[in-house]
Amino acid sequence: MFASRNAVKLAARAFSTSVASQSKVAVLGAAGGIGQPLSLLLKANPRVTELGLYDIVNTPGVAADVGHINTLSKVEGFTAKDQDGLKKALQGAELVVIPAGVPRKPGMTRDDLFNTNAGIVRDLAKACAEHCPQAKLLIISNPVNSTVPIATEVFKNAGVYDPKKIFGVTSLDLVRASRFIGDKIGKIVDVPVIGGHAGITIIPLFSQVEGLSLTTEERDALTDRVQFGGDEVVKAKDGLGSATLSMAYAGARFADSLLRAASGESVLEWAFIRTDMFKNKGLEFFSTYVKLDQDGVKEILPLPENISEYEKHLIQKAIPELKKSETKGSSFVANSQ
Ligand code: NAI
């Protein structure tokens, strides 16, 4: 079921030559810690025919550098100083990936970034709603549990909202969970991760990994490591930011999934999206299993029936947290009209 999602196959895909159509990808925040390696990986992806790189600073250098890589895509870089720079980066984009904003420092939660990043995501989403309303939005900027509701409200206000096209990128949690289990069992398998993208809202479903047997202590320790794996990187970088390289890898993988779906492949992914799954709890956004097609989300699949009692308990604990972040995001847009 997740056969195409391991590292080896991703690498093989990256150099496949079966490109279907013209696909422009815009990266907003392209000169940052995530933006640069993400732009590199997108340049290496033959499905991408054009890259529009935008950041408030330093984008021309990134575009010139990445632009020398000998894949056929065209690369253009714009900054806030360029007249209509953001518009030019966005026009014609099929995907817009947004890693713009400040990252965490040791001791910070993702929610601590809200005050700075909420406004950045709101303004960039406004530009997307105006210049490429049909594009799929891939939001990396934290706190994802709030920034996705922010972009959603902006699109609703602009009258161009399509829930099939706005995604919070939670792929790094899946990549981490897969890696941590890989360390234990000596092979890379896919581990579904649902919920959201912050602390206890990140819920790895180890029950869904065939043949995996964990003691209660192992399960608790691994769950905690997936939920707080980002902190390991923040601590190791010691004030110089959070995950950038692994995030770029995970973001490029998610972008590739959408591009493959756009070219007609049937693709399954996990993403933070608008769903009725927990409507009875007043929750609108949840990361879950989706089928993708050329329009974005084709179908939201139900949670597996055989998830464990422990995982069900984690979901119940996550829902109020998710709801809080969701309300914080949507209220921010309502109050900044
Ligand atoms: P960074 O500080 O290295 O780069 C951010 C870039 O955004 C900078 O180049 C900056 O100039 C640019 N920027 C700021 N305001 C902008 C605006 N209005 N328009 C365009 N660009 C703008 O930060 P880094 O490490 O790249 O992280 C970016 C974001 O990604 C952070 O919010 C971080 O928390 C988040 N993140 C999300 C993850 C996820 O799993 N979804 C994982 C890791 C980080």
Q: Quick: pLDDT tens for 168-220.
A: 999 999 999 999 999 999 999 999 999 999 999 999 999 999 999 999 999 99
Task: Please give the distance, rounded to the nearest whole angstrom, from the Cα atom of residue 247 to the centre of ligand 1.
Answer: 11
**68 assigned to active site:** no
How far apart CA 127 and CA 131 sit, in angstroms, is 6
Q: Is ligand 1 within 6 A of the CB of residue 113?
A: yes
Distance 32 CA to ligand 1 centre (A): 6
Say whether pLDDT at 4 is over 90: no
Domain limits for position 226: 94-337
Decide if 102 contacts 113 (C-beta within 8 A): yes
146 CA to centre of ligand 1 in angstroms: 15
Radius of gyration over every alpha carbon of the chain, rounded to an integer in angstroms: 19
- Answer for the pair 197, 142: CB distance below 8 angstroms, yes or no: yes
pLDDT of residue 193: 98
Is residue 74 domain-resident? Answer: no
Residue 83 domain flag: no
Query: Which protein residue's CA is at the shortest distance from atom 2 of ligand 1?
Result: 102
Which of 247, 249, 253, 254 is the pocket-test mutation for ligand 1 (most atoms within 8 Å of CB)?
247
| Cα 141 to ligand 1 centroid, rounded to whole Å | 6
Query: Which residues share a beta bridge with 96?
Result: 26, 137
Ligand 1 neighbourhood includes 144 CB (under 6 angstroms): yes
How many angstroms separate the CA atoms of 92 and 187, rounded?
41
Phi, then psi, of 164 in degrees rounded to 5: -75, -10
Whether residue 247 is annotated as binding a ligand: the answer is yes
280 is in an annotated binding site: no
How confident is the model over 34-70, as pLDDT tens digits? Answer: 999 999 999 999 999 999 999 999 999 999 999 999 9
As for how many domains the chain has, the answer is 1
User: Does 34 show up as a binding residue in the annotation?
Assistant: yes
Q: Is the CB of 100 under 6 A from ligand 1?
A: yes
Beta pairing partners, 17:
none
55 lines ligand 1 (CB under 6 A): yes
Residues 6 or more apart whose CB falls under 8 angstroms from that of 22 comprise 49, 50
Tell me if 150 CB under 6 Å of ligand 1.
Answer: no
- Taking alpha carbons only, the member of 284, 278, 294 closest to residue 327 is 284
Residue 333 within any structural domain of the chain: yes
118 domain residue, yes or no:
yes
Beta-bridge partner residues of 312: none
pLDDT tens sequence across 221-249: 999 999 999 999 999 999 999 999 999 99
Which CATH number goes with the domain that contains 166? 3.90.110.10
pLDDT greater than 50 at residue 6: no
Peptide bond into 143 cis (omega under 30): yes
Q: Is residue 56 part of a domain?
A: no
d(CA 322, CA 200): 10
240 lines ligand 1 (CB under 6 A): no
For residue 77, is it within any domain? no
Q: Which residues of 135-150 are buried (b: 16+ CB within 10 A; e: fewer)?
A: bbbbbbbbbbbbbbbb
- pLDDT averaged over the chain? 93
CA distance 233 to 179: 14
pLDDT bin (cut points 50, 70, 90) of residue 22 is confident
pTM to 2 decimal places: 0.94
In-domain check, residue 130: yes
Contact (Cβ atoms closer than 8 angstroms) between residue 35 and residue 8: no
Q: What angle do CA 326, 328, 334 make, to 5 degrees?
A: 105
Q: Would you state the torsion angle of the CA atoms of residues 299, 300, 305, 309, taken in this order, to the nearest 10 degrees?
A: 170
